[in-house]
Structure 1
Amino acid sequence: MNADTFLRNFGHLADAPSGIDQLRTLVLQLAFTGKLDGDASAQDAASWTQSTVDSITAEIVPGFACSKKHEDANGHVHLRTHNVGTDGRLNFDLLVKIAANKVDERKAALRKDDVIFNNTNSQELVGKTCIVDNDYDFAFSNHLTILRFIDDIEPGFIVRYFNLLLRTGVFSQMCNRWIGQAGINTKMLKAIVVRFPSIDQQRRILKHIEDVFALCDELEARQQERRAVHVHLNGAALDHLTSAENDTDFEIAWTRVRSNFDLLYSVPENVNALRQTILQLAVQGKLVEQDETDEPASLLLKRITGLKGKAHAEGLIQKDKKFAPTTASSPPWTVPDSWEWVRLQDLFEVVRGGSPRPAGDPRYFGGSIPWITVREITKDDDVFLRDTRDGITELGSKRSRFIRPNDLLLTNSGATLGVPKISTITGCINDGVALLKCFHDQIDLEYAYYYLRQQTPAFRAVKQGMGQPNLNTPILAGWYFPLPPLFEQSRIVEYIQKLDALCDELEAKLTQKQADADSLTEAMVAAVFAGEVKPPAPMTTAPARPRSPKWPAEKPTVARRRGYEEIRGAVSSYAVKRLHRQKSFHRTKHAKILSMAQAHVGVDLGIAFERWDHGPFHPCIYEVERLAARKEWYETTDGEKVAYSPGPKIGEQVGRAEELLGDRQAEMDRLLDLFSGMRTRRAELIATTFFVWNDLLIDGATADESEIADEFFRWHESKRKKFTPVKVAEAIEWLRDNDMVPTGKGHRTTLRS
């Protein structure tokens, strides 16, 4: 099979987001099972020679370490792990140079056709391998090993074989692992068994691989260009909307967006730009119509000014601040006649938080008073701040600043400045957070929140402070604020929230569409090999850890899909009926309960849950919610987080669930009781720990506490920010105490699509 034949048969798979990458894997699988060589005289793969890497190498040379303090811009190149590409090529970006007197002369140069093996890296990247295309005076680090092969071996053939082992997860399974790193030592490397035909056939196969890979590169470049064009077109169309100077220009721009909506919003990354445009149109007065019967903002401002004077006189707020020298002298855009441009301190008292010193002092930190830092403000996209992870003591609070419910907060320093939140709690803010305290009830705080969120890029363009952006209070005090009539503010907020929900739905559909395309591609690739061709696995002198089984890739029948939809809807409705009154029962916890219903209770929902940042999740929950709304089982309620309210026909689904559960209903009820009072983060911790533990058992591991903790923190990078090893240990103990120890059955979790 040559390159043209291959792409004629499989090139359509490239349309999926990860399709081209899967095509490359398919090419390698075909190549190393003898299916890519169309020569009639080709040796059948079953009769290829098998030898260890040790037997077919003339020389194996490990590199040497050299610390950062010995780097020298005029010194000798010392290759590092990032110089070995995942594409089998040497990467010349960021060449590190070291002092000449630190170079090991025996390891100071590379020869053409040397093979570089990356022996130490993350678990996902260990085993990267590339070929050297020329002679270079390059040394190499101890995380790299040079392989020089005997004459009967084509080096590029081995590189592509190792690329296949990397892609199919073989190296990640056989490597030694420790915190933050994984390794394949020289002994393990030597023991890998390689299958190979004659040297001539190796070269033919390699040429076929490189020809198809070159075409894949071209397809990938075209795909990236198409996505870039979509993003550019979307940006241009939205710019015309926000820069329209009159109603005619606006109508023309909107017609252009509306007529090309399916084209502009065919990729998820364009949805964020749409959200920002909605906010910009809102604060320009272009999102909702003005109502002539509304009290104009000039009268509203006059009333607020009177209340401000009274608050000053009573000592309830501080005196006005002097504006910063860089304060803008004119508003950034024109607003409707019924609006007014004001400054933030016309509407709010602008003050900064405070941080007790020294940081971490137990006299001040570790108490029960919520401690609000930049991290707490920026941890999610919620409009409201509802809780904090850390607390300070009463003594610490005296060195900080208290805030109350309905106070408007804004991060004012560091890389994530300019992020707003409305507080629902009483607590203290640190010196990286500003308080915009509203001393009246003449403004819709959510409108103020959305304006500040729209201004985040402008806030970040401000350069103040020593070495990092900083919004001091004189800057904030003088910041322009577009003030609409009070009733119009509420209409704007309502419309933003409706459009934001539509953006959520659009983004979910696009994400699901891409996930479906990837799943279809994976199933089609699997079909090529069904019962016939399997990816090769290396053989070592010591038994390798078993690879994780894959859930069947075949596409389920329509009947099966409909059956699963009904089962999911019934179990979901059962949970909603029981827990909808719980304040913490939102979509995230809903997903955790469904995952545990399947994995622990034993209700087959037909879902292979994925590893999302907030724990086990699968986008099919969106379809369950839409089905529930159509069937009047329950509805999702608008708000900061998706919650649920029972519909008129939920009773029939509860009855259906009881039939499905049978003698498992008592265990399902116990699961709901255990999760009902949990906060969302606690539910995330418990469910993630359960699935990590179960995955390890599926993989054949002993799954002791250290293994579970290690795998827990590999789940997603955010886990280390949210939890500690102690918390994971507590979750393991909780599962044991509540008789919810996993058994290694069911679906293994997969990476997020």
Structure 2
Amino acid sequence: MNAETFLENFGHLADAPGGVKKLREMILQLAVQGKLVEQDPNDEPAERELERIAKARRELVAKGNVRSSKQMPLPDLDEAPFLIPPSWQWTRIGSLMEKMGAGSTPLGGRKVYVDQGVPFLRSQNVWNDGLRLDGVARIPKDIHERMAGTHVHARDVLLNITGASIGRCAVVPDPFASANVSQHVAILRPIERRFSDFLHLCVISRFFQERVMRVQVGVSREGLSMTRLRHFPVPFPPLAEQRRIVAKVDELMSLCDELEARQQERNRVRVRLNEAALDRLTTAGDDDELTAAWTRVRSHFDTLYTVPENVAALRQAILQLAVQGKLVEQDPNDEPASLLLSDVESLRSQLVSQNCMPNYHPQEELDTTRFRCFLPPTWEWAQLGALISLMDSGWSPKCDDHPTTSPQQWGVLKTTAVQPLRYDAMQHKQLPAKLEPRRQHEVQAGDLLITRAGPRQRVGISCVVTETRPRLMISDKIIRFHLLSDALLPDFIVLCLNAGVSQGFLEEQKSGMAASQMNIAQTKLRRTPMPIAPTNEQRRIVERVRQLMSLCDDLEARLAQQQSDADRLTEAMVAEVLEGAAAGVGA
């Protein structure tokens, strides 16, 4: 099958979601089933090569170079996962190996690593497309020599046998200087080194990977045992055909690389178009520009929003328009926000005089001239601290690493309970029975929550608690606050904190030693600039955002369903091709 024929028959699969990945899987499966290249009747049958390998193995055993083991029977038809051409033969991996075993870790572990020395290959260095040696660990030469049993040779096949990367595999290039290997990686050294490349194709193919997953389920950190691996069945073609198969796979995988690059470029263009369209929408200077920008988005909607991921940018644009006063029309009959804020200030002064709350003294006045955002005439800027009556954080005791099993048990909210505009009570850990709950930290309906500590992308996120189960406490990484007046809608305030100038300010205030350990102090949070709309307009904005977010939910669900349908169709087409290939072999 040449590249043109392959594209003609299967190229359309590449345009489906995940299509190129499915093409790669299909190429490998066709390769190991003997349907990727034609068989040549002049090739020496695999049986004769296997006889020579068996003889060479007996000689190695006699010399003491290979440990003696029982003769393994050939796989029977029931054990073979598919039919293969008559000139091929099923065998077992262990029957083909001069060496087969896991690596080892030097005494002292990481403490013996050096800047200059012999490469020490670990699972993070072994990938299906080859060894990746950037940042490879190194060990002293004398330790490497003492670990003689795990030296790596050219043409070895390295296989990850533990952890999340189990099943990942690479062929050691030739020439190769020297290296050693950790206990998380197995060395497979074929007696016939020309078999290494085809063995690699077998290992990374679906039939082999599925078997790895089956036998390692429930296994502890030891992962895939050598005993089990030795008995894995593998197809063995004539060596000449192996070379043709490997060359054809390389050719078709390069073609897949090109298809994938084109697909990624199309996606990048689509993202750039989407960003440009939404940027025009959110930076429109007047009603005419806003109308023109929205018309442009609406006209190209089917092009811009073809995958669920692109809808996230649309959601953010909706929030941006909402907090700029561009999402709903202003009503001249609405009481302006200046009067609302005056009433809030009077209420705050009254509560302070009654010792019901501490006074708020802004460290600096708001400089609205630096905001590249022009509010409608009826809106006003205010600092968050001037709008709130309560601000506190919770308690973070050492909890059980699981949620409660009953609402009668106490739990502590994780920061992931606070999502943009959404509260998730399921995100909590159980308070140990030996600890007394601190009821003053129990979350209540009406609380506004914002995350103050954690990874950068998780800090400064806020939501309103509309309803919650009892006996859940906020942690000390979550700040809770209440608004002074009912004229300030919690849902509107949270919209502002999640978009526009307010969100940008919060991003600037994050500090910490690393991106994984950031925080925002309460004093900085209180200084957050907030665009305040008239109360009636706040209601209209909140309702409009709710409607549009619901439409975004529907759009994401529809796109996800389309993608799922396309995935199933692609899977079915690939399965049909492979079943046809299997039938052709047995014909």
Q: Normalised by the shorter chain, which TM-score bucket?
A: 0.7 to 0.9
Q: Could you say which residue in structure 1 is the equivalent of 2:6? A: 6
Using structure 1 for the length normalisation, give the TM-score.
0.64
Query: Structure 1 residues 296, 165: closer, same or farther in 2, change over 3 A?
Result: closer
1:140 matched to 2:181:
yes
Contact 2:417 2:423 in 1 (8 A): no
Equivalent-residue separation in structure 2 for 1:527 and 1:395 (angstroms):
59
1:118 matched to 2:160:
yes
Q: Could you say which residue in structure 2 is the equivalent of 1:25? A: 25
Q: How much has 1:141 moved relative to structure 2?
A: 0.9
Query: Structure 1 residues 401, 313: closer, same or farther in 2, change over 3 A?
Result: farther
Q: Secondary structure at the match of 1:136?
A: coil
Using structure 2 for the length normalisation, give the TM-score.
0.81
Equivalent-residue separation in structure 2 for 1:385 and 1:319 (angstroms):
32
The size of the alignment, in residue pairs, is: 528
1:430 matched to 2:475:
yes
Equivalent-residue separation in structure 1 for 2:159 and 2:424 (angstroms):
50
Structure 1, unmatched stretches of 5+, are 537-753
What fraction of aligned residue pairs are identical, expressed as a percent?
35
Q: Could you say which residue in structure 2 is the equivalent of 1:633? A: none
Query: Structure 1 residues 534, 277: closer, same or farther in 2, change over 3 A?
Result: farther
Contact 2:415 2:477 in 1 (8 A): no
Q: Which deviates the most, 324-333 or 184-193?
A: 324-333
Q: How much has 1:325 moved relative to structure 2?
A: 11
Contact 1:327 1:478 in 2 (8 A): no
Contact 1:56 1:153 in 2 (8 A): no
Q: How much has 1:306 moved relative to structure 2?
A: 1.2
Instruction: Kindly report the root-mean-square deviation, in angstroms, between the aligned alpha carbons of the 2 structures.
Output: 3.3
| 1:187-222 C-alpha deviation (Å, 9 max, x unpaired) | 222222322222111111111111111111111121
1:439 matched to 2:484:
yes
Query: Structure 1 residues 295, 65: closer, same or farther in 2, change over 3 A?
Result: same
> What does residue range 534-545 of structure 1 map to in structure 2 within 5 Å?
none
* Aligned AA (2:571): E
> What does residue range 547-562 of structure 1 map to in structure 2 within 5 Å?
none
1:169 matched to 2:210:
yes
Q: How much has 1:183 moved relative to structure 2?
A: 2.3
Equivalent-residue separation in structure 1 for 2:512 and 2:365 (angstroms):
14
Query: Structure 1 residues 100, 368: closer, same or farther in 2, change over 3 A?
Result: farther
> What does residue range 712-751 of structure 1 map to in structure 2 within 5 Å?
none
1:224 matched to 2:264:
yes
Query: Structure 1 residues 56, 227: closer, same or farther in 2, change over 3 A?
Result: same
1:64 matched to 2:64:
no
> What does residue range 449-468 of structure 1 map to in structure 2 within 5 Å?
449-454=494-499, 455-456=502-503, 458-464=505-511, 468=517
Equivalent-residue separation in structure 2 for 1:313 and 1:402 (angstroms):
28
Query: Structure 1 residues 136, 350: closer, same or farther in 2, change over 3 A?
Result: farther
Contact 1:420 1:449 in 2 (8 A): yes
Q: Could you say which residue in structure 2 is the equivalent of 1:405? A: 445
Contact 2:378 2:534 in 1 (8 A): yes
Equivalent-residue separation in structure 2 for 1:448 and 1:118 (angstroms):
51
Q: How much has 1:271 moved relative to structure 2?
A: 0.6
1:419 matched to 2:461:
yes
Q: How much has 1:494 moved relative to structure 2?
A: 0.5
Structure 2, unmatched stretches of 5+, are 46-83
* Aligned AA (2:506): F
Q: Secondary structure at the match of 1:78?
A: strand
Equivalent-residue separation in structure 2 for 1:369 and 1:322 (angstroms):
41
Contact 2:421 2:464 in 1 (8 A): no
Query: Structure 1 residues 321, 370: closer, same or farther in 2, change over 3 A?
Result: farther
* Aligned AA (1:95): V
Query: Structure 1 residues 70, 378: closer, same or farther in 2, change over 3 A?
Result: farther
Contact 1:108 1:137 in 2 (8 A): no
Contact 2:420 2:462 in 1 (8 A): no
Equivalent-residue separation in structure 2 for 1:405 and 1:212 (angstroms):
59
| Structure with max Cα Rg | 2
1:520 matched to 2:569:
yes
Query: Structure 1 residues 328, 410: closer, same or farther in 2, change over 3 A?
Result: farther
Q: Secondary structure at the match of 1:318?
A: coil
| 1:247-296 C-alpha deviation (Å, 9 max, x unpaired) | 23323322221221111111211111111111011000111111111111
Query: Structure 1 residues 195, 56: closer, same or farther in 2, change over 3 A?
Result: same
* Aligned AA (1:160): L
1:192 matched to 2:232:
yes
Q: Could you say which residue in structure 2 is the equivalent of 1:351? A: 391
Query: Structure 1 residues 21, 330: closer, same or farther in 2, change over 3 A?
Result: closer
Q: Secondary structure at the match of 2:328?
A: coil
Equivalent-residue separation in structure 1 for 2:233 and 2:536 (angstroms):
74
Q: How much has 1:513 moved relative to structure 2?
A: 1.2
1:474 pairs with one of 475, 498, 523:
523
Q: How much has 1:143 moved relative to structure 2?
A: 1.7
Greater RCO (CA < 8 Å, at least 6 residues apart): 2
Q: How much has 1:169 moved relative to structure 2?
A: 0.9
Q: How much has 1:429 moved relative to structure 2?
A: 3.1
Q: Which deviates the most, 486-495 or 258-267?
A: 258-267
1:203 matched to 2:243:
yes
> What does residue range 220-619 of structure 1 map to in structure 2 within 5 Å?
220-323=260-363, 330-331=370-371, 333-355=373-395, 359=398, 372-375=412-415, 377-378=417-418, 382-383=422-423, 390=430, 401=441, 404-415=444-455, 416-423=458-465, 424=467, 428-454=473-499, 455-456=502-503, 458-464=505-511, 468-530=517-579, 533=582
Q: How much has 1:77 moved relative to structure 2?
A: 1.5
Query: Structure 1 residues 496, 96: closer, same or farther in 2, change over 3 A?
Result: same
Equivalent-residue separation in structure 1 for 2:426 and 2:152 (angstroms):
58
| 1:530-558 C-alpha deviation (Å, 9 max, x unpaired) | 4661899xxxxxxxxxxxxxxxxxxxxxx
Q: Could you say which residue in structure 2 is the equivalent of 1:583? A: none
| 1:392-418 C-alpha deviation (Å, 9 max, x unpaired) | 999956695465431212111222221
Contact 1:90 1:130 in 2 (8 A): yes
Q: How much has 1:478 moved relative to structure 2?
A: 1.3
